[in-house]
Structure 1
Protein backbone atom coordinates (compact mmCIF):
# COMPACT_ATOMS: atom_id res chain seq x y z
CA UNK A 1 0.00 0.00 0.00
CA UNK A 2 1.05 3.57 -0.69
CA UNK A 3 0.42 6.65 1.43
CA UNK A 4 -0.20 9.70 -0.74
CA UNK A 5 0.28 13.25 0.57
CA UNK A 6 -0.30 16.50 -1.31
CA UNK A 7 -0.32 20.10 -0.07
CA UNK A 8 0.00 21.97 -3.35
CA UNK A 9 -3.51 23.44 -2.96
CA UNK A 10 -5.39 22.23 0.09
CA UNK A 11 -4.14 19.33 2.21
CA UNK A 12 -4.92 15.78 1.09
CA UNK A 13 -3.94 12.35 2.40
CA UNK A 14 -4.89 8.90 1.08
CA UNK A 15 -3.92 5.26 1.37
CA UNK A 16 -4.13 3.26 -1.86
CA UNK A 17 -3.34 -0.35 -2.67
CA UNK A 18 -0.82 -1.04 -5.43
CA UNK A 19 -3.62 -2.01 -7.85
CA UNK A 20 -5.41 1.30 -7.30
CA UNK A 21 -8.00 0.27 -4.72
CA UNK A 22 -8.54 3.26 -2.42
CA UNK A 23 -8.39 2.31 1.25
CA UNK A 24 -8.98 5.81 2.64
CA UNK A 25 -8.98 9.52 1.83
CA UNK A 26 -8.98 12.61 4.03
CA UNK A 27 -8.69 16.21 2.91
CA UNK A 28 -9.02 19.85 3.88
CA UNK A 29 -9.62 22.55 1.23
CA UNK A 30 -8.00 25.29 3.36
CA UNK A 31 -4.98 26.55 1.37
CA UNK A 32 -3.36 28.13 4.44
CA UNK A 33 -3.67 25.59 7.27
CA UNK A 34 -1.46 22.75 6.01
CA UNK A 35 0.64 22.48 9.17
CA UNK A 36 -2.43 22.59 11.41
CA UNK A 37 -4.33 19.76 9.70
CA UNK A 38 -1.69 17.41 8.22
CA UNK A 39 -1.25 15.40 11.41
CA UNK A 40 -4.99 14.97 11.96
CA UNK A 41 -5.55 13.92 8.34
CA UNK A 42 -2.71 11.39 8.48
CA UNK A 43 -4.13 9.86 11.63
CA UNK A 44 -7.62 9.68 10.13
CA UNK A 45 -6.46 8.20 6.82
CA UNK A 46 -4.40 5.49 8.49
CA UNK A 47 -7.22 4.57 10.88
CA UNK A 48 -9.75 4.39 8.04
CA UNK A 49 -7.37 2.37 5.85
CA UNK A 50 -7.23 -0.32 8.53
CA UNK A 51 -10.94 -0.98 7.92
CA UNK A 52 -10.40 -2.06 4.32
CA UNK A 53 -11.33 -0.44 0.99
CA UNK A 54 -13.61 2.61 0.97
CA UNK A 55 -17.18 1.45 1.54
CA UNK A 56 -16.22 -1.87 3.09
CA UNK A 57 -17.09 -2.93 6.62
CA UNK A 58 -14.49 -5.06 8.34
CA UNK A 59 -12.52 -5.47 11.51
CA UNK A 60 -9.34 -3.35 11.62
CA UNK A 61 -6.24 -4.92 10.10
CA UNK A 62 -2.64 -3.65 10.03
CA UNK A 63 -1.84 -1.13 7.29
CA UNK A 64 1.40 -2.30 5.68
CA UNK A 65 2.77 0.64 3.72
CA UNK A 66 5.53 0.12 1.16
CA UNK A 67 5.98 3.68 -0.14
CA UNK A 68 5.04 7.28 0.57
CA UNK A 69 4.04 9.37 -2.46
CA UNK A 70 4.69 13.10 -2.14
CA UNK A 71 3.03 15.69 -4.34
CA UNK A 72 5.85 17.97 -5.48
CA UNK A 73 3.81 20.84 -6.91
CA UNK A 74 3.71 23.23 -8.56
CA UNK A 75 2.45 25.14 -5.58
CA UNK A 76 3.28 27.88 -3.08
CA UNK A 77 6.53 27.51 -1.15
CA UNK A 78 5.10 27.24 2.37
CA UNK A 79 2.30 24.84 1.51
CA UNK A 80 4.46 22.48 -0.52
CA UNK A 81 7.22 22.17 2.03
CA UNK A 82 4.74 21.11 4.76
CA UNK A 83 3.52 18.12 2.77
CA UNK A 84 6.93 17.12 1.45
CA UNK A 85 8.47 17.35 4.92
CA UNK A 86 5.64 15.24 6.35
CA UNK A 87 6.09 12.62 3.62
CA UNK A 88 9.83 12.43 4.15
CA UNK A 89 9.54 12.26 7.94
CA UNK A 90 6.89 9.54 7.77
CA UNK A 91 8.93 7.50 5.29
CA UNK A 92 12.09 7.87 7.34
CA UNK A 93 10.30 6.65 10.46
CA UNK A 94 8.99 3.59 8.58
CA UNK A 95 12.21 3.01 6.58
CA UNK A 96 10.30 3.06 3.29
CA UNK A 97 11.05 5.08 0.13
CA UNK A 98 9.47 8.34 -0.97
CA UNK A 99 8.14 8.57 -4.53
CA UNK A 100 8.04 12.11 -5.92
CA UNK A 101 4.96 12.88 -8.04
CA UNK A 102 4.19 16.15 -9.85
CA UNK A 103 0.89 17.30 -8.39
CA UNK A 104 -0.41 18.22 -11.83
CA UNK A 105 0.27 14.63 -13.00
CA UNK A 106 -2.06 13.40 -10.26
CA UNK A 107 -4.73 15.91 -11.27
CA UNK A 108 -4.35 14.91 -14.92
CA UNK A 109 -4.68 11.24 -14.00
CA UNK A 110 -7.96 12.02 -12.23
CA UNK A 111 -9.24 13.80 -15.36
CA UNK A 112 -8.25 10.96 -17.67
CA UNK A 113 -9.66 8.19 -15.49
CA UNK A 114 -12.95 10.04 -15.01
CA UNK A 115 -13.77 9.51 -18.70
CA UNK A 116 -11.44 6.87 -20.17
CA UNK A 117 -13.41 6.68 -23.44
CA UNK A 118 -13.26 10.41 -24.22
CA UNK A 119 -11.43 11.36 -27.44
CA UNK A 120 -7.78 12.10 -26.80
CA UNK A 121 -6.95 15.78 -27.06
CA UNK A 122 -4.34 17.97 -25.37
CA UNK A 123 -5.50 19.64 -22.17
CA UNK A 124 -3.92 21.83 -19.52
CA UNK A 125 -4.26 21.28 -15.80
CA UNK A 126 -4.52 24.80 -14.38
CA UNK A 127 -4.12 25.74 -10.73
CA UNK A 128 -4.11 29.03 -8.86
CA UNK A 129 -0.52 30.17 -8.29
CA UNK A 130 -1.64 33.38 -6.55
CA UNK A 131 -0.19 36.81 -7.37
CA UNK A 132 -2.48 37.02 -10.42
CA UNK A 133 -0.83 34.01 -12.01
CA UNK A 134 -1.86 30.48 -12.94
CA UNK A 135 0.35 27.40 -12.98
CA UNK A 136 -0.35 25.04 -15.86
CA UNK A 137 0.94 21.79 -17.36
CA UNK A 138 -0.15 20.32 -20.70
CA UNK A 139 -1.02 16.63 -21.17
CA UNK A 140 -2.23 14.33 -23.94
CA UNK A 141 -3.63 10.97 -22.89
CA UNK A 142 -2.16 8.03 -20.98
CA UNK A 143 0.96 6.08 -21.92
CA UNK A 144 1.43 2.30 -21.83
CA UNK A 145 2.16 2.45 -18.09
CA UNK A 146 -1.14 4.18 -17.39
CA UNK A 147 0.50 7.52 -16.62
CA UNK A 148 -0.40 10.93 -18.07
CA UNK A 149 1.70 11.99 -21.05
CA UNK A 150 3.17 15.38 -20.20
CA UNK A 151 3.79 17.36 -23.42
CA UNK A 152 4.69 20.69 -21.78
CA UNK A 153 6.36 21.10 -18.41
CA UNK A 154 4.82 23.14 -15.56
CA UNK A 155 4.93 26.90 -16.16
CA UNK A 156 3.44 30.15 -14.90
CA UNK A 157 1.21 32.50 -16.85
CA UNK A 158 -0.46 35.83 -16.02
CA UNK A 159 -4.14 35.19 -15.43
CA UNK A 160 -5.31 37.39 -18.27
CA UNK A 161 -2.92 35.77 -20.77
CA UNK A 162 -3.49 32.06 -20.20
CA UNK A 163 -6.63 31.55 -22.29
CA UNK A 164 -5.04 33.11 -25.36
CA UNK A 165 -1.85 31.10 -24.83
CA UNK A 166 -3.72 27.79 -24.61
CA UNK A 167 -6.06 28.62 -27.50
CA UNK A 168 -3.06 29.31 -29.72
CA UNK A 169 -1.81 25.79 -28.96
CA UNK A 170 -5.21 24.16 -29.38
CA UNK A 171 -5.21 23.08 -25.75
CA UNK A 172 -8.34 22.65 -23.64
CA UNK A 173 -8.23 24.28 -20.21
CA UNK A 174 -9.21 22.34 -17.06
CA UNK A 175 -9.14 24.29 -13.81
CA UNK A 176 -8.36 22.24 -10.72
CA UNK A 177 -9.09 23.37 -7.18
CA UNK A 178 -7.94 20.21 -5.36
CA UNK A 179 -5.37 17.48 -6.04
CA UNK A 180 -6.63 14.04 -4.92
CA UNK A 181 -4.06 12.30 -2.76
CA UNK A 182 -5.42 8.99 -4.04
CA UNK A 183 -4.26 9.98 -7.54
CA UNK A 184 -0.84 10.98 -6.16
CA UNK A 185 -0.57 7.50 -4.66
CA UNK A 186 -1.89 5.78 -7.80
CA UNK A 187 0.56 7.65 -10.04
CA UNK A 188 3.35 6.59 -7.68
CA UNK A 189 2.18 2.97 -7.74
CA UNK A 190 2.20 2.90 -11.53
CA UNK A 191 5.60 4.59 -11.69
CA UNK A 192 7.08 2.10 -9.22
CA UNK A 193 5.62 -0.83 -11.17
CA UNK A 194 7.16 0.52 -14.38
CA UNK A 195 10.49 1.36 -12.76
CA UNK A 196 10.11 5.01 -13.66
CA UNK A 197 10.90 8.33 -12.00
CA UNK A 198 8.25 11.01 -12.58
CA UNK A 199 10.22 13.98 -11.25
CA UNK A 200 13.29 14.79 -9.21
CA UNK A 201 13.42 15.31 -5.48
CA UNK A 202 13.14 19.09 -5.60
CA UNK A 203 9.76 20.81 -5.18
CA UNK A 204 8.26 22.55 -8.21
CA UNK A 205 7.92 26.05 -6.79
CA UNK A 206 8.09 27.84 -10.19
CA UNK A 207 9.08 31.03 -8.41
CA UNK A 208 11.64 31.83 -5.72
CA UNK A 209 10.50 32.05 -2.07
CA UNK A 210 9.85 35.53 -0.69
CA UNK A 211 12.26 35.09 2.22
CA UNK A 212 15.96 34.38 1.68
CA UNK A 213 18.84 34.06 4.10
CA UNK A 214 20.83 37.24 4.81
CA UNK A 215 23.76 37.46 2.44
CA UNK A 216 22.30 34.95 0.02
CA UNK A 217 22.90 35.75 -3.66
CA UNK A 218 20.05 37.49 -5.43
CA UNK A 219 18.12 35.58 -8.07
CA UNK A 220 18.92 37.04 -11.48
CA UNK A 221 16.53 36.49 -14.36
CA UNK A 222 17.78 35.29 -17.70
Structure 2
Protein backbone atom coordinates (compact mmCIF):
# COMPACT_ATOMS: atom_id res chain seq x y z
CA UNK A 1 0.00 0.00 0.00
CA UNK A 2 1.26 3.44 -0.91
CA UNK A 3 -1.21 6.26 -0.34
CA UNK A 4 -0.80 9.71 -1.85
CA UNK A 5 -2.95 12.21 0.07
CA UNK A 6 -3.71 15.80 -0.98
CA UNK A 7 -6.00 18.48 0.40
CA UNK A 8 -6.58 22.06 -0.78
CA UNK A 9 -9.96 22.71 0.85
CA UNK A 10 -8.43 25.16 3.34
CA UNK A 11 -5.60 27.72 3.02
CA UNK A 12 -3.17 24.83 3.60
CA UNK A 13 -1.83 23.17 0.46
CA UNK A 14 -0.88 19.82 1.95
CA UNK A 15 0.52 16.56 0.56
CA UNK A 16 1.63 13.31 2.19
CA UNK A 17 2.78 9.83 1.26
CA UNK A 18 1.83 6.92 3.57
CA UNK A 19 2.85 3.26 3.29
CA UNK A 20 -0.02 1.91 5.39
CA UNK A 21 2.04 1.95 8.58
CA UNK A 22 3.58 5.41 8.73
CA UNK A 23 4.07 8.67 6.87
CA UNK A 24 7.03 8.49 4.50
CA UNK A 25 7.07 12.18 3.59
CA UNK A 26 4.78 15.18 3.96
CA UNK A 27 4.67 18.88 3.16
CA UNK A 28 2.25 21.71 3.93
CA UNK A 29 2.22 25.36 2.90
CA UNK A 30 -0.40 27.86 4.02
CA UNK A 31 -1.33 30.17 1.16
CA UNK A 32 -5.00 30.69 0.34
CA UNK A 33 -4.31 32.20 -3.09
CA UNK A 34 -1.80 29.80 -4.67
CA UNK A 35 -3.28 26.31 -4.46
CA UNK A 36 -2.89 25.63 -8.15
CA UNK A 37 0.68 26.93 -8.24
CA UNK A 38 1.88 25.06 -5.14
CA UNK A 39 0.23 21.64 -5.26
CA UNK A 40 2.06 19.78 -8.05
CA UNK A 41 5.56 20.94 -7.00
CA UNK A 42 4.70 19.79 -3.45
CA UNK A 43 3.71 16.36 -4.79
CA UNK A 44 7.03 16.13 -6.65
CA UNK A 45 9.01 17.03 -3.52
CA UNK A 46 7.14 14.55 -1.33
CA UNK A 47 7.70 11.71 -3.82
CA UNK A 48 11.38 12.67 -4.13
CA UNK A 49 11.86 12.77 -0.37
CA UNK A 50 10.30 9.32 -0.06
CA UNK A 51 12.45 8.02 -2.90
CA UNK A 52 9.58 6.63 -4.96
CA UNK A 53 7.99 7.40 -8.31
CA UNK A 54 4.39 8.36 -8.90
CA UNK A 55 3.81 5.00 -10.57
CA UNK A 56 4.29 3.23 -7.23
CA UNK A 57 1.18 4.87 -5.72
CA UNK A 58 -1.63 2.36 -5.09
CA UNK A 59 -4.32 4.73 -3.77
CA UNK A 60 -5.06 8.45 -3.86
CA UNK A 61 -6.75 10.16 -0.91
CA UNK A 62 -8.26 13.63 -1.23
CA UNK A 63 -9.98 16.04 1.13
CA UNK A 64 -13.40 16.85 -0.32
CA UNK A 65 -14.11 19.84 1.91
CA UNK A 66 -16.13 21.65 2.98
CA UNK A 67 -14.16 24.51 1.54
CA UNK A 68 -14.27 27.46 -0.84
CA UNK A 69 -14.92 26.59 -4.47
CA UNK A 70 -11.68 27.67 -6.12
CA UNK A 71 -9.20 26.10 -3.72
CA UNK A 72 -11.15 22.91 -3.19
CA UNK A 73 -11.43 22.02 -6.87
CA UNK A 74 -7.62 22.18 -7.34
CA UNK A 75 -7.02 19.24 -5.04
CA UNK A 76 -9.94 17.24 -6.36
CA UNK A 77 -9.03 17.75 -10.00
CA UNK A 78 -5.42 16.77 -9.28
CA UNK A 79 -6.42 13.66 -7.32
CA UNK A 80 -8.84 12.53 -10.02
CA UNK A 81 -6.20 13.10 -12.71
CA UNK A 82 -3.67 10.99 -10.81
CA UNK A 83 -6.25 8.27 -10.23
CA UNK A 84 -7.16 8.16 -13.90
CA UNK A 85 -3.56 8.20 -15.13
CA UNK A 86 -2.42 5.50 -12.68
CA UNK A 87 -5.57 3.40 -12.76
CA UNK A 88 -5.87 3.48 -8.96
CA UNK A 89 -8.84 4.28 -6.69
CA UNK A 90 -9.43 7.81 -5.43
CA UNK A 91 -10.84 7.96 -1.89
CA UNK A 92 -12.60 11.06 -0.61
CA UNK A 93 -12.56 12.10 3.05
CA UNK A 94 -14.13 15.06 4.79
CA UNK A 95 -11.46 17.70 5.42
CA UNK A 96 -12.82 18.28 8.91
CA UNK A 97 -12.26 14.59 9.67
CA UNK A 98 -8.56 15.02 8.95
CA UNK A 99 -8.32 17.88 11.44
CA UNK A 100 -10.26 15.85 13.99
CA UNK A 101 -7.95 12.86 13.55
CA UNK A 102 -4.87 15.05 13.97
CA UNK A 103 -6.16 16.61 17.19
CA UNK A 104 -5.64 13.49 19.28
CA UNK A 105 -8.46 14.55 21.59
CA UNK A 106 -10.09 11.83 23.69
CA UNK A 107 -13.16 13.86 24.61
CA UNK A 108 -16.09 15.36 22.65
CA UNK A 109 -15.02 18.37 20.60
CA UNK A 110 -15.76 20.50 17.53
CA UNK A 111 -13.77 21.23 14.39
CA UNK A 112 -14.23 24.65 12.76
CA UNK A 113 -12.50 26.05 9.65
CA UNK A 114 -12.76 29.45 8.01
CA UNK A 115 -15.67 29.63 5.57
CA UNK A 116 -15.14 33.35 4.87
CA UNK A 117 -18.12 35.76 4.95
CA UNK A 118 -17.67 35.75 8.76
CA UNK A 119 -18.78 32.09 8.88
CA UNK A 120 -17.19 28.75 9.72
CA UNK A 121 -17.51 25.22 8.39
CA UNK A 122 -17.92 22.99 11.40
CA UNK A 123 -18.84 19.57 12.76
CA UNK A 124 -19.12 17.95 16.18
CA UNK A 125 -17.09 14.83 17.12
CA UNK A 126 -17.41 12.17 19.82
CA UNK A 127 -13.73 11.30 19.37
CA UNK A 128 -11.00 11.61 16.74
CA UNK A 129 -12.64 9.00 14.50
CA UNK A 130 -16.34 9.62 15.06
CA UNK A 131 -18.15 12.59 13.54
CA UNK A 132 -21.64 13.27 14.87
CA UNK A 133 -23.77 14.41 11.95
CA UNK A 134 -22.96 16.17 8.70
CA UNK A 135 -20.71 19.23 8.37
CA UNK A 136 -22.49 22.58 8.33
CA UNK A 137 -21.77 26.28 7.78
CA UNK A 138 -22.86 28.91 10.30
CA UNK A 139 -21.90 32.18 11.93
CA UNK A 140 -19.70 31.67 15.00
CA UNK A 141 -21.99 33.72 17.23
CA UNK A 142 -24.88 31.42 16.34
CA UNK A 143 -22.82 28.39 17.42
CA UNK A 144 -21.36 29.71 20.65
CA UNK A 145 -24.15 28.46 22.90
CA UNK A 146 -24.51 25.13 21.07
CA UNK A 147 -20.82 24.23 21.48
CA UNK A 148 -20.19 25.93 24.83
CA UNK A 149 -17.73 24.01 26.99
CA UNK A 150 -16.30 22.00 24.10
CA UNK A 151 -12.77 22.35 22.73
CA UNK A 152 -12.77 23.67 19.16
CA UNK A 153 -10.05 22.57 16.74
CA UNK A 154 -9.03 24.46 13.60
CA UNK A 155 -8.52 27.93 12.19
CA UNK A 156 -12.15 28.89 12.83
CA UNK A 157 -11.57 28.67 16.55
CA UNK A 158 -8.57 30.97 16.43
CA UNK A 159 -10.36 33.49 14.20
CA UNK A 160 -13.33 33.84 16.54
CA UNK A 161 -12.10 33.51 20.14
CA UNK A 162 -15.17 35.24 21.57
CA UNK A 163 -17.35 32.40 20.27
CA UNK A 164 -14.77 29.60 20.70
CA UNK A 165 -12.71 30.37 23.81
CA UNK A 166 -11.17 26.88 24.04
CA UNK A 167 -9.25 26.83 20.76
CA UNK A 168 -7.05 23.79 20.16
CA UNK A 169 -4.40 22.75 17.64
CA UNK A 170 -4.01 21.90 14.86
CA UNK A 171 -5.01 25.14 13.23
CA UNK A 172 -4.48 23.91 9.66
CA UNK A 173 -5.21 20.72 7.75
CA UNK A 174 -2.51 18.07 7.34
CA UNK A 175 -2.50 15.51 4.54
CA UNK A 176 -0.42 13.32 6.83
CA UNK A 177 -3.38 13.01 9.18
CA UNK A 178 -5.76 12.46 6.27
CA UNK A 179 -3.52 9.68 4.96
CA UNK A 180 -3.27 8.09 8.40
CA UNK A 181 -7.04 8.01 8.73
CA UNK A 182 -7.41 6.56 5.23
CA UNK A 183 -4.81 3.87 5.97
CA UNK A 184 -6.77 2.82 9.06
CA UNK A 185 -10.01 2.58 7.10
CA UNK A 186 -8.43 0.55 4.31
CA UNK A 187 -6.68 -1.81 6.74
CA UNK A 188 -9.98 -2.39 8.54
CA UNK A 189 -11.82 -3.07 5.28
CA UNK A 190 -14.06 -0.03 5.80
CA UNK A 191 -14.09 1.24 2.25
CA UNK A 192 -17.73 2.23 2.61
CA UNK A 193 -16.65 5.02 4.98
CA UNK A 194 -14.96 6.93 2.18
CA UNK A 195 -16.79 9.68 0.32
CA UNK A 196 -16.99 10.09 -3.45
CA UNK A 197 -14.19 12.39 -4.70
CA UNK A 198 -16.66 15.21 -5.29
CA UNK A 199 -16.63 18.71 -3.79
CA UNK A 200 -18.49 19.37 -0.56
CA UNK A 201 -19.31 23.06 -0.88
CA UNK A 202 -22.29 23.51 1.50
CA UNK A 203 -23.15 26.73 -0.33
CA UNK A 204 -22.99 28.17 -3.83
CA UNK A 205 -19.68 29.63 -5.10
CA UNK A 206 -18.96 33.35 -4.75
CA UNK A 207 -18.64 33.83 -8.51
CA UNK A 208 -21.92 33.45 -10.37
CA UNK A 209 -23.26 34.35 -13.80
CA UNK A 210 -24.96 37.75 -13.54
CA UNK A 211 -28.73 37.76 -13.80
CA UNK A 212 -30.53 39.73 -16.49
CA UNK A 213 -27.30 40.44 -18.36
CA UNK A 214 -27.56 42.14 -21.72
CA UNK A 215 -27.37 39.81 -24.73
CA UNK A 216 -25.66 41.28 -27.77
CA UNK A 217 -26.64 39.73 -31.10
CA UNK A 218 -25.04 40.41 -34.48
CA UNK A 219 -26.98 42.72 -36.79
Quote the residue 2:190 is aligned against: 195
Output the CA distance in 2 between the equivalents of 1:30 and 1:74. 17
Long gaps (5+) in structure 2? 156-170, 212-219
What are the superposed Cα offsets for residues 57-103 of structure 1, whole Å, 9 maximum, x if unpaired?
A: xxxx5562110000011111110000010011011111111010111
Q: How many residues align?
A: 191
Output the CA distance in 2 between the equivalents of 1:45 and 1:89. 18
Quote the residue 1:133 is aligned against: 119
**Shift of residue 214 of structure 1?**
7.6
5 Å-filtered alignment, 1:18-29, equals 18-19=20-21, 21-29=22-30
Question: Is the CA contact 1:74–1:204 (under 8 Å) kept in the aligned structure 2?
Answer: yes
Output the CA distance in 1 between the equivalents of 2:62 and 2:101. 15
Question: Is the CA contact 1:137–1:154 (under 8 Å) kept in the aligned structure 2?
Answer: yes
Matching of residue 105 in structure 1 with residue 105 in structure 2 = no
Quote the residue 1:72 is aligned against: 64
Long gaps (5+) in structure 1? 51-60, 143-147, 216-222
Give the TM-score, by structure 1 length.
0.80
Instruction: Supply the RMSD in Å over aligned alpha carbons.
Output: 1.9
Question: Is the CA contact 1:14–1:181 (under 8 Å) kept in the aligned structure 2?
Answer: yes
Output the CA distance in 1 between the equivalents of 2:79 and 2:185. 17
Matching of residue 155 in structure 1 with residue 136 in structure 2 = yes
Matching of residue 209 in structure 1 with residue 205 in structure 2 = yes
Q: 1:89 aligns with which of 64, 70, 81?
A: 81
Output the CA distance in 2 between the equivalents of 1:206 and 1:164. 22
What are the superposed Cα offsets for residues 143-195 of structure 1, whole Å, 9 maximum, x if unpaired?
A: xxxxx10113211111322222211xx53222343111011111222222223
